[in-house]
Amino acid sequence: MSVLIKNGRIITAADDYTADIFITGETIAAIGRNLSVSAEQVIDAKGLLVMPGGVDPHVHLDMPFMGTFSSDTHETGTRAALFGGTTTVIDFVLQKQGHSLHEALTEWNKRARGTAVGDYSFHMAVTDYNENTKQEIREMIEQEGITSFKTFMAYKGALMIDDRQMTALMQEVKKQGGLVTVHATNGDMIDYLVAKHKSEGKLAPLYHYLSQPEVTEAEASARFTDIANYTGCPGYIVHLTCEGALNAVRNATRRNQKVFVETCIQYLLLDASLYEKDFEGAKWVMSPPLREPKDQATLWAGINQGLVQVVATDHCPFKWEQKLMGRNDFSKIPNGHPAIEHRMELLFSEGVNKGKISLNKYVEVACTNPARIFGMFPRKGTIAVGSDADIILINPQEKHTLSVSSHHMNVDYSAYEGKELTGKVKTVLLRGKIAIDRNTCQVAKGYGQFIKRNKIVQTG
Ligand code: URP
Ligand code: ZN
Ligand code: ZN
């Protein structure tokens, strides 16, 4: 199978030029002006932007959590991702406390293999670090191509590890060539505030927000950064939301330390005023919670300063009936919200089209950096000869409106209902195949491949 994309304006993290792209099989074979090749399929991209497929390194598909499962499977979630221009996602395998990493991986493989529509990889969440787990770190990296290890400094009793485990894990991961990622919030402080609010009869979603003040994230981010510095292990903070936490990372740069930072699209665009909508606020109950406009400003600036390298989603959808589990108690509302489908278009519309970030920065934070940081570059995350032909075509001026009635995620509400965007993903290629065109998905369940990742190279 061969495809020729003609006359497109190609944007990568570094370049902006007009050329044709010739694809044979799954990869890009040639890029040049007026290529004289014959192809089985020709796409005229005049007037469109041609960019690498998006890489979302933070999604939770079919994940057991807070007494239920996130509602998108690997099939529905990766298909929805494709509709929005994300061709590769990294999902989280959760070790069960008292069990091995391999057991968890077997479980997740059963869910994802043969069902994913788009490409995917796994982070391994280490929730119980001990001598057995230590042995498994090397095997995950060398045999399974899983090179990043997720830790939680919150969710005590289910997912949280303590600082003793964190230090030991980081030493081992550094030795084996991996990266430790972290949900950096102070679990004990949060648990205290949750209990306090409940004892005072404060049970609405607003108290989810008030139980996780900025200091809980700033403190944990600084602590994680210090442990990463001590151990020398590459570190990555997931879903960073606020000024205090980003300042902890900014401070670390003064000792020439690099900690990677991911924020998520919702923290750039939505704010905590949504928790004032009584129980409807449950739609945005996630951890950390949405913050304040001043934090949004800090995050946009952080992207342009190079302090925030990645914009992800933390896609963790729950249907309304699942959210209702916390009708009378905010601490029982499953944490998470749907976003996998909308990240690329939201960031384009609100970031690029509103002049907050450049086109190159857009590709950098949504495609290239996640691929590079997590050991998939240059196979993923760029447009270059030899790379996978994961390519999206965007009409930069087309307007459309987000709604539950038109999205493809398996969830019965939209976190962005009625929001009008400028910039629409028109065509998506995944490994050389047209996956999305004319608003239909043209690849089947099972087309998505597991992407083994390389060891982590700490870049500047
Ligand atoms: O609220 C969230 N973020 N749910 C998913 C689990 C996590 O903490 O990332
Ligand atoms: Zn988290
Ligand atoms: Zn998450």
B/e letters for 101-139, b = 16+ CB within 10 Å, e = fewer, are bbebbeebeebbeebbbbbbbbbbbbbbbeeebbebbee
What Cα–Cα distance (Å) separates residue 255 from each residue in 209, 226, 230, 251, 456? 33, 11, 12, 8, 21
Mean pLDDT within 107-111: 98
User: Above 90 in pLDDT, residue 43?
Assistant: yes
Question: How far, in Å, are 53, 56, 67, 294 from residue 368 at the CA level?
Answer: 9, 10, 35, 27
Decide if pLDDT at 459 tops 70.
no
State the ligand closest to the CA atom of 237. 2
What is the three-class DSSP state of 442? coil
pLDDT tens, position by position, 242-272: 999 999 999 999 999 999 999 999 999 999 9
Contact in structure between 389 and 380 (CB atoms under 8 Å)? no
Whole-number pLDDT of residue 457: 73
- 313-342 confidence digits (pLDDT tens): 999 999 999 999 999 999 999 999 999 999
At 456, the pLDDT band (50, 70, 90 cuts) reads confident
pLDDT computed for residue 198 by the predictor? 98
Please give the distance, rounded to the nearest whole angstrom, from the Cα atom of residue 428 to the centre of ligand 2.
Answer: 29
**How far apart, in whole angstroms, are the C-alpha atoms of residue 299 and residue 389?**
31
**Residue among 287, 313, 315, 333 whose CB has most ligand 1 atoms within 8 A, to mutate:** 287
CA distances from 126 to 3, 100, 107, 179, 396 (A): 42, 9, 15, 12, 41
What pTM, to 2 d.p., does this model score? 0.98
Say how many C-beta atoms besides its own lie within 10 A of residue 344's C-beta: 29
Per-residue pLDDT, 187: 98
- Contact in structure between 237 and 182 (CB atoms under 8 Å): yes
Residue 27: closest CA among 378, 388, 448 = 388
Q: How confident is the model at residue 452 (pLDDT cuts 50, 70, 90)?
A: very high
Each residue of 132-190: pLDDT tens digit? 999 999 999 999 999 999 999 999 999 999 999 999 999 999 999 999 999 999 999 99
User: pLDDT-derived band of residue 458, with 50, 70 and 90 as boundaries?
Assistant: low
56, 208, 286: residue to mutate for ligand 1 pocket, most atoms within 8 A of CB: 286
The full length of the chain comes to 460
Signed CA dihedral, 379, 30, 394, 308: sign only:
positive
CA of 239 to the centre of ligand 2 (A): 7
Distance of CA 155 to the CA centre of its chain: 20
Amino acid at 46: K
Determine the angle formed by the axes of helices 243-253 and 214-231, rounding to 10 degrees. 20
Q: How many CB atoms lie within 10 A of CB 168?
A: 17
Assess whether the C-beta atom of 335 lies below 6 angstroms from ligand 1: yes
CA 286 / ligand 3 centre spacing (Å): 9
CA angle, residues 311, 104, 73, in degrees to nearest 5: 55
Q: Is the CB of 60 inside a 6 Å radius of any atom of ligand 1? A: yes
Residues with CB under 5 A from ligand 2 (ion): 183
> Cβ of 73: how many Cβ atoms within 10 Å?
18
Sequence-distant (6+) residues with CB within 8 A of 107 are: 93
Cβ distance 183 to 153 under 8 Å?
yes
* Substitution candidate for ligand 1 out of 56, 58, 59, 60 with most atoms within 8 A of CB: 60
User: What's the whole-number mean pLDDT along residues 105-133?
Assistant: 98
Kindly state the helix (H) or strand (E) to which residue 77 belongs, with its residue range.
Answer: helix 74-83
pLDDT of residue 9: 98
Question: Is the separation of the CB atoms in 309 and 263 below 8 Å?
Answer: no
Is the pLDDT confidence value at 205 over 90? yes
Helix (H) or strand (E) holding 424: strand 420-430
Q: Residue of the nearest CA to atom 7 in ligand 1?
A: 287
Helices and strands (DSSP H and E) totals, the chain? 14, 19
Mean pLDDT for the stretch of residues 344-361: 99
Residue 460, pLDDT > 60, answer no
Residue 448 Cβ < 6 Å to ligand 1: no
Return the closest-CA partner of residue 114 out of 444, 446, 443, 451: 446
Tell the residue nearest (CA) to atom 4 of ligand 1.
336
Tell me how crowded residue 42 is: count the other CB atoms within 10 A of its CB: 13
